[in-house]
Amino acid sequence: MRRAVSVSFLLLSCLIAAGFAQQTITVGFTVSRTGALNVDSVEQYRGFELWRDTVNAAGGIKAGGKSFKIQFASYDDESNSKRVQQLYTRMILEDKADFLFSPYSSSLTATAAVVTEQNEKIMLTTGAAEEKTYKLGNQHLYQMFAPATQYLTVALDALKAKDPKASVAFVYEDASFSVAVVTPAKAYAQQLGFNVVFSEAYAPNTTDFSAIIDKVIASKATVLLGGGHYADGSTLARQLYGHKVPLKMVTLLVAPDSPQWAELGDAAVGVIVPSQWEPQSTFKAQYGPSGTEFAKAYTAKYNAPPSYESAGGYASGMVLQHAIEQAGGIDTAKVAEALNATDITTFYGRTKFSTQASEHGLQIGHAIFLAQWQKDKSGKPVKQVVWPLAGKSADLVYPMH
């Protein structure tokens, strides 16, 4: 009898302990706290962090009659794909992460996706726009960013409206994301009738662009499209300005979206960035905070305005939260089902994932727009939405200087 009571007590204790453990959701991801992707990655992390703090302050995610607090398992990947492979394995096997967010960048995410898919874990990807990863038959990947092909085609649409006879040069980082953006953009430029006069990829760690700049000048290009990430993009813009290259339009990927871009001073002005989100965006949120509320909370916490990487980070959390609520718990199959059915508009815009087997998880609801750095009345560089015209906060300045 005494033995039966002891066993029952032990079983009850285990059940209670298990019940309490389920009250916390562990979300795993890596951050590039060091290395070339540091600037963009930390901004993405801040979005995750603000979402976690907001949800926990409100008592956690309410689903299936329970409340789930969020905790993170997070490590520095040093912008290095080898570290990503080790750390995602560790987060799944040792930290027992229930769900995962992606690292920053398409290339690191492609590495992480191999691990998460092998372990059948859901990963929401942000800062990972290249389509290829979503066309490999993965069933647990969900992309928050609009796909890479849209980045420069939008810029070419805007250019067509302003200067259909422009001569275009493509100068871009030799990395999976930039190549995935530029390859379709080149074809689209030719389709629109532009003269593509120069195209060259540069190594990701390039710091001296003199030789490429000389070639751009020699090509008589009037427009330059390309870039890659923050380190190379900011250096390219600085050197284009230093060499006084006579360009009418410069559109660079990713880098000019960071608030840090303003530190380039006059070299920052006029540069355009294809953007996933801007604080001026006016999407009517069906779920979560408005854009103004998000920007206000973010600025109060980090003393800097949010970039689209930050917004993507926060939105990833919201979409996961929405799916858990719809699924009534954290069962992977049920949450995946809820994500497949997701079609919501948040402050970040519309989110809908493809459920076709050939491109499962690819983002098909979100769209890109263009932001340009312009001087405000006090002469300070600020970012303005300039395209599409329906959502603009200022006119596109063309030529840029």
Q: Interface residues with other proteins (CB under 8 A)?
A: 33-36, 38-39, 78-79, 174, 200-203, 205-208, 210-212, 214-215, 217-218, 231, 234-235, 238, 242-246, 263, 265
- Between 243 and 350, CB nearer to other proteins: 243
Least distance from C-beta 210 to other proteins, angstroms?
4
CA atoms 322, 57, 48, 330: torsion sign: negative
Question: In the complex, what is the shortest distance from the CB of residue 47 to other proteins, in angstroms, rounded to a whole number?
Answer: 19
Residue 294 in tokens: 């998000």
Residue 398 to residue 263: CA distance in whole angstroms:
22
* Least Å from the CB of residue 386 to other proteins: 27
CB 320 → other proteins: shortest distance, Å?
A: 29
Residue entry with tokens 């916490």: 301
Q: Supply the minimum distance, in Å, between the C-beta of residue 221 and other proteins.
A: 11
By DSSP bridging, strand 381-387 and strand 369-375 are: antiparallel
Our CB check for other proteins shows the closer of 241 and 369 to be: 241
C-beta closer to other proteins: residue 221 or 339: 221
Which single residue is written with the structure tokens 């953007």? 275
Closest to other proteins by CB, 243 or 375: 243
Q: Could you tell me the maximum CA-CA distance found in the chain, to the nearest angstrom?
A: 93
Question: Which of these, 350, 356, 315, 320, lies nearest to 338 by C-alpha position?
Answer: 320
Tokens 């422009």 belong to 166
| Collapsed DSSP state (helix, strand, coil) of residue 172 | strand
* Amino acid making up residue 215: K
Verify cis geometry, omega within 30 degrees of 0, for the bond prior to 399.
yes
Residue with smaller CB distance to other proteins, 120 or 214: 214
**Shortest distance, CB of residue 205 to other proteins, whole angstroms?**
8
Separation between Cα atoms, residue 97 and residue 327, nearest integer Å: 18
CB of 209 to other proteins, least distance (A): 8
Looking at beta carbons only, is 192 or 245 nearer to other proteins? 245
Listed in sequence order, the residues at least 6 apart from 244 whose beta carbon sits closer than 8 Å to its beta carbon are: none
Q: Which is nearer to other proteins, 164 or 246 (CB)?
A: 246
Q: Which long-range contacts (CB under 8 A, 24 or more apart) does 389-397 make?
A: 391/280, 391/281, 391/282, 393/278, 393/280, 396/158, 396/162, 396/272, 396/370, 396/372, 397/270, 397/372
